[in-house]
Chain A
């Protein structure tokens, strides 16, 4: 555990001249009486896909929300490209969990994607033809162009997730936070999303994803951040996504993990 931490801290010092997309130091947060995040420190490398892994209640979503200033921090600092987050908002895109909004809201898919441009419009600016074109383009990228005029409650779960992703694309950010984009989506959507993530990566963007499915971690992510209230380990997937560290992260839930890793080795054989 500590070896990985030391490694990440060392890399900060080595790369002191290159500005990292995201530097988090000593981030803590609490709900009511219970601390849910304690002293989390890490620095991400530009152009990587990073998976945030941990058991339920480990503070994965909380970490994102605290980093984005959506919930108050108990302490800690978050730097985006070397400056406080508040000055760098336009560089950051956020995909909240699908359940966080009311899908009965009277609006259509295109309109939701256009909301991604609101941050660029200024105080009084109105979305116009240019925003519409960008939004259509983003919808096309996630394969949803045909659904642009569809009321959002009439989309399937996977389609709603793709609309959210298109909205994040419309934000045109350099650093993305995605809260469980793969939760409850169909296989086609999962494939579409991961293709998109690869594309973003090739454009040099950094994407941090809260992820649940351990079986796909090695396939999807360059780096892994193991979290259970405290940071367990952070580093390249092959170094960090190990049986030992996972056991440390998930604590007593060994049986599940062993079965899971067995399944993985089976997959590799097949």
Chain B
């Protein structure tokens, strides 16, 4: 406890903690919209796609500036979303395969560029591979500032355009009828997701950053049926995970921040799944029993659990 306290007094640590919390908050918030639009795995694709962008930014500028990396990764992310849209629109390849194709080919390209950077005379490349798993401690003051500002911007855009995003996520057709620029809003949401992913990469890493987009949003769904509340809860869960990752990583011996953050988020998910007040398993089990009683199957408790297992198998099949 003492060491933790001294750690928290360290100004550098304070900054890292703040920026990890903020980026957890912003990805939690933006993740809600992508969850509701059934685009959770887009976050994963965008994160993998960011790798070549980061490498190219480094090769062009020769510096490890977060701002340039953000720009490079952002461009790569936008290219990836267009790639997926293009494949699904113009061929019979389905959305999931298109994501897989774009994800792995961009990542493959990123790895190729990374090895070229490592073998070439680029110098000063040490630490570029930190982007794979994330290392918050490697952030310097200016990085922290950039990340925090971008995160805050993200949160404010979501706050200002909340009503539009809500309608676009729920019923784009109706939103169009109201005269909303739906295509632009959808692109904007996608772009915000790109930004959230890119911001998270430094702390969580390319491979795992998707977790911050997906897991807090899924967890928050168990606590509420209202979007406004869901966004707040998801933001809090994201922030908690980010903070936990940063703190544990700085106390333990050279543990990467990324996996710790992800596991913190996963823990929150498991708790929500079990005891969430709206859709948690406990609540549902009670509701199911009530229904069984109403149907007159109150005494078939064992049969019911058996049928749940059965159903898992069946649905695995379908």
Q: Beta-carbon contacts of B187-216 to A below 8 Å, as 1s and 0s?
A: 000000000000000000000000000000
Which of the listed residues A35, A72, A73 has the most CB atoms from chain B within 10 Å of its own CB? A72
Cβ-defined contact, B297 with A74, below 8 A: yes
How far apart sit A70 and B292, CA to CA, in the bound complex (Å)?
A: 21
B307 contacts partner chain A, Cβ-Cβ < 8 Å: yes
Cβ-defined contact, B92 with A35, below 8 A: no
A30 contacts partner chain B, Cβ-Cβ < 8 Å: yes
B300 contacts partner chain A, Cβ-Cβ < 8 Å: yes
User: Closest CB of chain A to B140's CB: distance in Å?
Assistant: 50
User: Closest CB of chain A to B164's CB: distance in Å?
Assistant: 30
B115 contacts partner chain A, Cβ-Cβ < 8 Å: no
User: Closest CB of chain A to B289's CB: distance in Å?
Assistant: 11
Cβ-defined contact, B295 with A74, below 8 A: yes
How far apart sit A74 and B310, CA to CA, in the bound complex (Å)?
A: 11
Which B residues lie within 8 Å of A75 (CB)? 295, 297, 300, 303
Cβ-defined contact, A30 with B291, below 8 A: yes
Interface range on chain B (Cβ under 8 Å from partner): 10 to 19
Which B residues lie within 8 Å of A35 (CB)? 291, 295
User: Closest CB of chain B to A18's CB: distance in Å?
Assistant: 31
Which B residues lie within 8 Å of A39 (CB)? 295
Which A residues lie within 8 Å of B318 (CB)? 70
Which of the listed residues B284, B295, B310 has the most CB atoms from chain A within 10 Å of its own CB? B295
Q: Which of A15-40 contact B (CB under 8 A)?
A: 28, 30, 33, 35, 38-39
B226 contacts partner chain A, Cβ-Cβ < 8 Å: no
Nearest 3 Cβ contacts at the A-B interface: A72-B307, A72-B311, A104-B92
Cβ-defined contact, A33 with B314, below 8 A: no
B: residues with CB less than 8 A from A are 92, 284, 287-288, 291-292, 295, 297, 300, 303-304, 307-308, 310-311, 314, 318
Can you list 13 A-B pairs, Cβ within 8 angstroms, ordered by A? A28-B295, A33-B284, A33-B291, A35-B291, A39-B295, A70-B318, A72-B310, A72-B314, A75-B295, A75-B297, A75-B300, A104-B92, A153-B92
Which B residues lie within 8 Å of A28 (CB)? 295, 297
User: Closest CB of chain A to B314's CB: distance in Å?
Assistant: 7
* From B291, B307, B308, contact of A73 by CB (8 A): B307
Q: What residue in chain A is nearest B312 (Cβ atoms)? A: A72
How far apart sit A28 and B297, CA to CA, in the bound complex (Å)?
A: 10
How far apart sit A92 and B307, CA to CA, in the bound complex (Å)?
A: 23
A71 contacts partner chain B, Cβ-Cβ < 8 Å: yes
How far apart sit A39 and B294, CA to CA, in the bound complex (Å)?
A: 12
Which B residues lie within 8 Å of A104 (CB)? 92
User: Closest CB of chain A to B71's CB: distance in Å?
Assistant: 38
* From B288, B295, B303, contact of A38 by CB (8 A): B295
- Evaluate whether A71 and B300 lie within 8 angstroms (CB atoms) in the complex, with A33-B291, A35-B291 already known: no
Which A residues lie within 8 Å of B297 (CB)? 28, 74-75
* From A30, A71, A74, A153, contact of B314 by CB (8 A): A71
Q: What residue in chain B is nearest A103 (Cβ atoms)? A: B92
Q: Beta-carbon contacts of A33-52 to B below 8 Å, as 1s and 0s?
A: 10100110000000000000
Cβ-defined contact, A33 with B310, below 8 A: no
Cβ-defined contact, B287 with A33, below 8 A: yes
Q: What residue in chain B is nearest A74 (Cβ atoms)? A: B297
